């Protein structure tokens, strides 16, 4: 098979700054060094590094603030390049292009692969030969790596990546013969909604919904019927809290001391979206058992017929469920990335488990503030549950996070923190799980 090397796709303006695999040619663009921080730097543009950008890899400015999305390490025993600390995500040539049919194109996209519970494939193995680490010229000092113009440029690039991801997802999940395509190309797309299930179709739809509930523990029909009311109700019960908290300068004043934990959310607001109801149970189950929920939703999409099941007040549209069942699992890599980042923050900000025994309220609040501040200062997007106000703070980690974690000590320390610092009444909010096992 063709020998491929990593480089920037600098010739394609639509996908600029993405890392690709291209036929090796010995150029500086295809040569890299790895520094003690785990940053993979390009030898042609020495202030550019490989960055985890979600579904694909991005070629961008090196950040001196310890950005976890820039950290990689080489696992020599299986010739893989892996991201972060958990050792489960590898750099790989896109699976579709790692076949003789596409080798002749001399170019292929590069993405992340998850090797949990499997051995790396051939498209994830690299012959790693790094040159000497680069030396920074005086004009490329760490303090000049990022400017306001760079931030604006990165923001535009991130928007392009989101748009491309959504386009790829749509193309992959829309069958050319599906009812959705037919609806979009018709003069009246809403006619699709009038295709009500009858006879065996109706029975098959009901069986599929029941099977999903048994699989996931969540009632998707109850969620669909009540989500509209929940959104309206949340605006009534939560808006006063949001205005009082985030429009109040005293909350974020330096004289107040530690900002986190934030003021407690009223129970009426919490019950609007996480109470013991159709919306709350569905949201909670899919937050804590996210990976299992994806599996159950995929099965639902395979079993529902292409018709609309009449329910009051909201009919359930089979083609939309099919599309959702395909699209939602495509976010698993993004969820896994957020988990890895959250675990890296928790590993840095939480003390040893022995130091958290018999913790006082002041000690707990200090750890919450440390974790939240580190997340906000170093992360591109706040992920950690420490930012959430009580009673939502420090929720159980999802099954995806448990699968992702290579460092079980972090999971243990986080559980000790929850046991010592989170009131039992707050933990009960997350314990309302039906037909599922809480991950502790």
Domain boundary (314, 332, 350) is at 332
Question: Looking at the structure, do residues 65 and 203 belong to the same domain, yes or no?
Answer: no
Q: Which phi and psi (to 5°) does residue 158 adopt?
A: -60, -40
* 93 is a domain residue: yes
* 328 is a domain residue: yes
Question: Looking at the structure, do residues 30 and 141 belong to the same domain, yes or no?
Answer: yes
Give the N- to C-terminal CA distance of the chain in Å, as an integer. 45
Domain boundary (279, 305, 332) is at 332
- What's the pLDDT tens digit per position in 346-400? 888 899 999 999 999 999 999 999 888 876 765 555 557 889 999 999 999 999 8
Question: Looking at the structure, do residues 32 and 59 belong to the same domain, yes or no?
Answer: yes
Question: Which pLDDT score is estimated for 215?
Answer: 95
Question: Which pLDDT score is estimated for 95?
Answer: 64
Question: Which pLDDT score is estimated for 250?
Answer: 66
Question: Which pLDDT score is estimated for 340?
Answer: 74
Question: Looking at the structure, do residues 133 and 259 belong to the same domain, yes or no?
Answer: no
Question: Which pLDDT score is estimated for 427?
Answer: 93
Helix (H, G, I), strand (E, B) or coil at 184: helix
Question: Which pLDDT score is estimated for 67?
Answer: 74
Question: Looking at the structure, do residues 256 and 131 belong to the same domain, yes or no?
Answer: no
Question: Which pLDDT score is estimated for 335?
Answer: 82
* 236 is a domain residue: yes
> Residue 192 class from Cβ within 10 Å (0-12 exposed, 13-18 middle, 19+ buried)?
buried
Q: Is pLDDT above 70 for 174?
A: yes
Question: Looking at the structure, do residues 294 and 150 belong to the same domain, yes or no?
Answer: no
Q: Is pLDDT above 50 for 61?
A: yes
Higher pLDDT, 342 or 228: 228
Domain boundary (332, 357, 379) is at 332
* 437 is a domain residue: no
Question: Which pLDDT score is estimated for 197?
Answer: 96
- What's the pLDDT tens digit per position in 236-247? 999 999 998 888
- What's the pLDDT tens digit per position in 298-312? 999 999 999 999 999
H-run or E-run covering 7: strand 4-8
Q: Is pLDDT above 60 for 234?
A: yes
Question: Looking at the structure, do residues 361 and 341 belong to the same domain, yes or no?
Answer: yes
Q: Is pLDDT above 90 for 69?
A: no
| Mean pLDDT of the 1-17 span | 68
Distance CA 108, CA 97 (A): 6
Q: Is pLDDT above 80 for 113?
A: no
Distance CA 200, CA 307 (A): 11
* 63 is a domain residue: yes
Report the percentage of the chain scoring pLDDT > 70: 75
Q: Is pLDDT above 80 for 97?
A: no
Range with the lowest mean pLDDT among 16-20, 101-105, 347-351? 101-105
Question: Looking at the structure, do residues 156 and 17 belong to the same domain, yes or no?
Answer: yes
> Residue 428 class from Cβ within 10 Å (0-12 exposed, 13-18 middle, 19+ buried)?
exposed
Residue span of the structural domain in which 382 resides: 335-430
Distance CA 49, CA 81 (A): 14
Total domain count, the chain: 3
Higher pLDDT, 123 or 285: 285
| Mean pLDDT of the 132-151 span | 36
* 402 is a domain residue: yes
Distance CA 316, CA 349 (A): 45
Question: Looking at the structure, do residues 125 and 22 belong to the same domain, yes or no?
Answer: yes
Distance CA 305, CA 184 (A): 19
* 440 is a domain residue: no
Helix (H, G, I), strand (E, B) or coil at 77: coil
Residues 6+ apart with CB under 8 A from 177: none
Q: Is pLDDT above 50 for 429?
A: yes
Q: Is pLDDT above 80 for 225?
A: yes
What is the CATH classification number for the domain harbouring 105? 2.80.10.50
Question: Which pLDDT score is estimated for 298?
Answer: 93
Question: Looking at the structure, do residues 317 and 342 belong to the same domain, yes or no?
Answer: no
pLDDT confidence of 144, banded at 50, 70, 90?
Answer: very low
pLDDT confidence of 416, banded at 50, 70, 90?
Answer: very high
> Residue 26 class from Cβ within 10 Å (0-12 exposed, 13-18 middle, 19+ buried)?
exposed
Q: Is pLDDT above 80 for 96?
A: no
**Within a 10 A sphere around the Cβ of 136, how many other Cβ atoms?**
14
Question: Which pLDDT score is estimated for 47?
Answer: 81
Question: Which pLDDT score is estimated for 407?
Answer: 66
Q: Is pLDDT above 50 for 264?
A: yes
Question: Looking at the structure, do residues 356 and 306 belong to the same domain, yes or no?
Answer: no
Question: Which pLDDT score is estimated for 437?
Answer: 44
Mean pLDDT taken over the chain: 79
DSSP conformation class of 72: E
User: Taking a C-beta distance cutoff of 8 angstroms, is the pair 398, 437 a contact?
Assistant: no
| pTM of the predicted protein model | 0.67
Range with the lowest mean pLDDT among 20-29, 168-177, 300-309? 168-177
Question: Which pLDDT score is estimated for 276?
Answer: 92
In 3D space, the residue among 65, 30, 27 whose CA is nearest the CA of residue 50 turns out to be: 30
| Mean pLDDT of the 428-435 span | 72
Q: Count how many residues are written for the chain.
A: 440
């Amino acid at each position: 098979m063709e020998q491929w090397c990593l480089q920037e796709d600098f010739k394609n303006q639509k996908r600029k700054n993405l890392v690709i695999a291209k036929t090796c040619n010995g150029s500086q663009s295809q040569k890299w060094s790895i520094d003690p921080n785990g940053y993979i730097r390009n030898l042609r543009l020495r202030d550019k590094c490989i960055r985890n950008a979600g579904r694909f890899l991005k070629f961008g400015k090196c950040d001196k603030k310890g950005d976890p999305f820039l950290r990689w390490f080489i696992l020599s025993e299986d010739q893989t390049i892996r991201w972060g600390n958990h050792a489960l995500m590898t750099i790989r040539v896109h699976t579709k292009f790692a076949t003789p049919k596409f080798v002749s194109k001399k170019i292929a996209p590069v993405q992340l692969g998850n090797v949990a519970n499997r051995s790396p494939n051939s498209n994830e193995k690299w012959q790693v030969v790094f040159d000497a680490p680069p030396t920074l010229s005086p004009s490329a000092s760490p303090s000049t790596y990022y400017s306001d113009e760079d931030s604006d440029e990165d923001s535009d690039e991130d928007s392009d990546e989101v748009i491309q991801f959504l386009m790829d997802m749509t193309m992959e999940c829309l069958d050319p013969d599906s009812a959705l395509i037919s609806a979009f190309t018709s003069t009246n797309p809403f006619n699709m909604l009038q295709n009500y299930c009858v006879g065996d179709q109706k029975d098959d739809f009901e069986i599929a919904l029941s099977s999903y509930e048994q699989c996931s523990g969540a009632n998707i029909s109850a969620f669909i019927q009540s989500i509209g009311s929940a959104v309206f109700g949340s605006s009534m019960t939560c808006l006063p809290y949001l205005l009082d908290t985030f429009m109040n300068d005293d909350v974020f004043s330096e004289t107040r001391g530690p900002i986190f934990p934030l003021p407690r959310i009223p129970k009426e607001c919490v019950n609007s979206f996480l109470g013991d109801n159709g919306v709350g149970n569905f949201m909670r189950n899919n937050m804590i058992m996210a990976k299992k929920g994806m599996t159950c939703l995929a099965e639902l999409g395979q079993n529902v017929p292409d018709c609309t099941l009449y329910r009051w007040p909201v009919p359930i549209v089979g083609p939309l469920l099919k599309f959702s069942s395909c699209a939602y699992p495509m976010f698993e890599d993004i969820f896994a990335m957020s988990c890895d980042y959250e675990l890296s923050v928790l590993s840095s900000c939480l003390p040893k488990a022995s130091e958290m025994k018999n913790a006082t309220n002041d000690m707990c609040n200090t750890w919450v503030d440390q974790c939240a501040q580190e997340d906000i200062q170093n992360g591109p997007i706040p992920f950690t549950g420490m930012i959430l106000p009580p009673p939502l703070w420090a929720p159980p980690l999802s099954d995806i996070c448990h699968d992702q974690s290579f460092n079980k000590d972090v999971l243990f320390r986080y559980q000790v923190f929850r046991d010592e610092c989170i009131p039992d009444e707050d933990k009960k909010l997350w314990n309302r799980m039906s037909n599922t096992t809480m991950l502790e």
